[in-house]
Amino acid sequence: MKGIIIKNASELVTCRSSGPKHGKMMSDIGVIKNGCVVVENDAIKDVGTSEEILKKYDEKEYRITDASGKAVLPGFIDSHTHLIFGGYRADEFSWRLKGDSYMSIMERGGGITSTVRATRDTSLDEFVERGKKTLDKYAAMGVTTVEGKSGYGLDRDTEIRQLKAMKTLNETHPVDVVPTFLGPHSVLPEYKGKEDEFIDFMIEVMKDVAESKLAEFADIFCEKNVFSVEQSRRFLTAAKKMGLKLKIHADEMVQLGGTELAVELESTSADHLLQASDKGIEMLSQSGTVATLLPATAFCLKESYARARLMIDSGCAVALATDFNPGSSFTNSIPLVIALAALNMNMSIEEIITALTINAAAAVGRSDITGSIEKGKKADIIILEYPSINFLPYHAGVNIVETVIKNGKVIQGE
C-alpha cells in the first residue's frame, strides 16, 4: 500500500496557513465539503474534493478510509502543559473550594512548592511511565503534539531529569513532545528576598539545558510575589542569547506587564493573560506573539476568563491549551477546553479549531510542518464520529474523536 486515502468527508477542515491566523482570519478554517486527503509515508500528498482527488489516484494502491458522515480535522495541539511532575494536590483543590486563593495556598508552602518536594523524589523511569499514560489519553482525544514544561524541580538535577523524561517520551511515543525549560516557576522559601540570586542560578542551569539540547523554549512565571518584569526580562534575554525560543506566564493573577514584555522580546507565545491590559492586547495584535489562553485553569480556580473576544476582535492570534498540571488545572481534557471556550469565552467553533490547530502549532514553533491539512505537512489528522465540527461544543465535554492518524499512521481507532 502506498498510503492512506480518506474520502467522502462530510467536512474536511484544512486550516491552511504557514503561520498563526490573526483576528477575523481565525474564522477562516478552509472547510471542503465531501473532502478527500491523500497520505503517503508521514506526509500529506494531496487535498481537495473527493471528486477531483479520486480521479488522480488508484484506490487499490491505498488503504481507504470512508469518512462519509464524518468531519476530518488537523490533529489537536496542546501548546501549554506541565506534563511531567510528581505527586498530586487534591487536598489543595478542596481548600480552594472552601474559599482559599491559589496565591494564599502558595504562600503557606503549598502550591508549586508542594509539587517540588514530590517531583524531586520521582525517578526518571517513573516520570516516563506516568508521561506515557498521559500521552495515551491525549492521543485518544485527537492530540498529536504536546508542549511540556519542566519547573517542578527548581534545582539542576530534577529540572534536567524532567526534560530528559520528555526527550524519552518524544522518541518513544507517537505524540510529539515539545520541551520547555521553566526553571523559574516559583520561589522556594530559602530564596525569598533573594530572587535575583535564584535567577542567576537558573541561568546557569539553562546553559546546561541549552548545550544538551534538552529544551526548545524557555519560560518564566512573571507574576506579583514570584518574578518581576525586570527579572523575567533578564532571564528571557539570557535564554534568547542561548538560542532558545521564548514563552512567558504573563498577567495571570495581577496586571503586571508580562504581556507587554512578551511582545518586546518577540516571544513565541504569551500565556494565561487573564489580566492582560488593553495596551498589552493592542501590542499583541500588532505582533507575531501568540496569545495562549487557558480556560480550564480559570475554571478550576474559579477566576474570570481571559478576554478572548476582545483579543480576536483586536486582531490577536489566539491559541487554546489545557495547562495540564497537578495544581491549578489537573485536566488534560480538550473537550472541556472546547466547551469552556465556546460557552464562557464567546469564541466560535471555527475560532476554537484554529486556536487548537494552526495557532497552537505556531505557539510551539511548528506551524510550518503541522497544524493544518495541506500538501507537504505532516499527516497529523483526526476523524470525528459526527458529520460536523458543530458537534464539538454541542456534545459538551465529551470526546468525539473516532480515528487519529499521526505521521501517516493510525494510532487510535480503526
* Residue 27's CATH number: 2.30.40.10
Contact 31, 11 (CB under 8 A): yes
Q: How far is CA 41 from CA 63, 260, 375, 376, 377, in A?
A: 12, 43, 13, 11, 11
Domain boundary among 330, 346, 363: 363
Domain that holds residue 135: 77-363
Are residues 355 and 376 part of one domain?
no
Q: Which helix (H) or strand (E) holds 124?
A: helix 124-140
Are residues 272 and 193 part of one domain?
yes
* Cross-strand bridge partners of residue 293: 320
Are residues 328 and 202 part of one domain?
yes
Check residue 323 and give its pLDDT.
98
Are residues 308 and 205 part of one domain?
yes
Instruction: Tell me the C-alpha distance between 37 and 45, whole Å.
Output: 8
pLDDT tens sequence across 313-368: 999 999 999 999 999 999 999 999 999 999 999 999 999 999 999 999 999 999 99
Q: Which of 316, 327, 324, 238 is nearest to 283 (CA)?
A: 316
Torsion of CA 305, 306, 312, 314, to 10 degrees: 130
Check residue 199 and give its pLDDT.
98
Are residues 65 and 200 part of one domain?
no
Cell of 251: 498577567
Are residues 399 and 324 part of one domain?
no
What lies within 8 Å, CB to CB, of 80 at 6+ separation is: 147, 149, 247, 269, 271, 292, 294, 321, 322, 323, 363
Average pLDDT for the chain: 97
Instruction: Tell me the C-alpha distance between 408 and 2, whole Å.
Output: 11
**Percentage of the chain exceeding pLDDT 70:** 100
pLDDT tens sequence across 241-266: 999 999 999 999 999 999 999 999 99
Contact 130, 177 (CB under 8 A): no
Over the range 129-138, which residues count as b (16 or more CB within 10 Å of their CB) and which as e? Answer: ebbbebbeeb
Are residues 391 and 284 part of one domain?
no
Number of structural domains the chain divides into: 2
CATH number at residue 223: 3.20.20.140
Instruction: Tell me the C-alpha distance between 280 and 286, whole Å.
Output: 10
pLDDT band at 277 (very low <50, low <70, confident <90, very high): very high
Are residues 118 and 206 part of one domain?
yes
Are residues 56 and 96 part of one domain?
no
Check residue 103 and give its pLDDT.
76
Contact 224, 257 (CB under 8 A): no
pLDDT band at 114 (very low <50, low <70, confident <90, very high): confident
Instruction: Tell me the C-alpha distance between 147 and 163, whole Å.
Output: 11
Check residue 113 and give its pLDDT.
85
Contact 81, 323 (CB under 8 A): yes
Q: Mean pLDDT over residues 60-64, rounded?
A: 97
Check residue 219 and give its pLDDT.
99
pTM higher than the cut 0.95: yes
Are residues 177 and 98 part of one domain?
yes
Check residue 133 and give its pLDDT.
98
Are residues 376 and 350 part of one domain?
no
Q: Which has the minimum average pLDDT: 79-88, 183-192, 401-410?
A: 183-192
Are residues 353 and 373 part of one domain?
no
pLDDT at 155 over 90: yes
Domain boundary among 345, 363, 381: 363
* Cross-strand bridge partners of residue 269: 247, 290
